[in-house]
Amino acid sequence: MTTPHDPKRLTPSGLPRARFYDIPFDGAPGPNNAITDVPGVAVGYTTLIEGDGPLVVGTGPVRTGVTAILPRPRAELASPVFAGLFSANGNGEMTGSHLIEEIGTFNLPVTITNTHSCGVARDATVRWLGGKDPDALEDSWGLPVAAETYDGFLNDINGHHLTAEHVAAAIDNATSGPIDEGSIGGGTGMVTFQFKAGSGTASRVVGWQGRTFTVGSFVQSNFGPRKNLMIRGVRAGAELAEPQIIERTPRREKGSIIAVVATDAPLLPHQLKRLARRVPLGVAWTGGLGYHSSGDIFLAFSTANPEAASSPPGRLAQALYVPDCDIDPFFDAVVQSVEEAILNALIANDDMTGRDGNYVPALPRDWLETKFGRRSI
């Protein structure tokens, strides 16, 4: 039974999501249609919006933030998760990637922010761990995952407004359940298909051998020219091309997309890399083609097999996993959830004006309702 406050249709702050409209998606979403449908996964944000008018580097205007994704509950963050990653186009950054490629695991929160604050987010995560557990790094080291996309069209990106305290706040306020989307957290200043975009999420339920697993995706979406926009096969870009608006939005592709895929299905690192390789197919379903300056970097992890991922030395480790020959439904879930997460980032949004009066419109809601109709309650 759908209600006006169904988290699949509305964000906690009341913005419409893609399923507010009668858009015909594939697959079955989880209860919140979010990466947080994967048990133990939490998401937190810090959003920085301040000032208007001409750019004064170091002062503003500020349109940025940081997103934190916790792969395990806080008390278990030191326990690694099996992981795999894939770079479809490498004009971007994701720290910790070499270790993931080498051993197929990572631990600690994942952070996503703007390009010039990626190092701050990475270092602040290590500081956060040291503050919470002073003994954790005494005889060890931290190599957290931090990723970025560029928000310099709207934000004073060279003003370095993100601080370690902002990162710690995003980690500390991370929650499960429904989460907000759009111009929030690291997605605050991001643009997709010359419309306002940013943070988006979706999930899919996968049945296998009488068991039910969840695949959830989170994107920081910041890519694509207007002409390429596609919504469930509808080539929408040409219909929505308004010269007077395009004049005030970015003309050159300077964007990227970061996607994080989580699942509670028992999958091994090579299988999670295979999931990460399917993310570009979901991006392509919205019209993303991985242009030259786009950093398209994707991470997938599994919360299953905690004992195997953190097995002590001197004993054999055992891990359960879904056979490769049965993995196709999980590929479906990745593609479907990534596509919907990008559309959620676009639809759960409003117009934004940033530095120097630079303006990015939201995807028009009246057009969405005319084209697809509103989903019945």
Residue 296 appears among annotated catalytic residues: yes
| Best CA proximity match to 350, nearest among 221, 236, 181 | 181
Residue whose structure tokens are 């278990």: 76
Q: Which of 256, 264, 302, 337 is catalytic?
A: 256
Output phi, psi for 275, to 5 deg.
-65, -45
Tokens of residue 42, six digits: 């939490």
H or E element, residue 131: helix 118-132
Query: How many degrees, rounded to 5, is the angle at CA 274 between CA 273 and CA 279?
Result: 95
What's at 304, amino acid-wise? A
Of the residues 37, 296, 302, 337, which is catalytic? Answer: 296
Nearest to 12 by CA among 181, 236, 232: 181
Burial of 82 (0-12, 13-18, 19+ CB in 10 A): buried
Whether 135 is catalytic is no
Q: Which of 176, 203, 294, 337 is catalytic?
A: 294
CA atoms of 115 and 339, how far apart (whole Å):
23
**Known catalytic residue at 256:** yes
Residue 325's DSSP bridge partners are none
How far apart are the C-alpha atoms of 372 and 287, rounded to whole Å? 18
Q: Which residues are catalytic?
A: 256, 294, 296
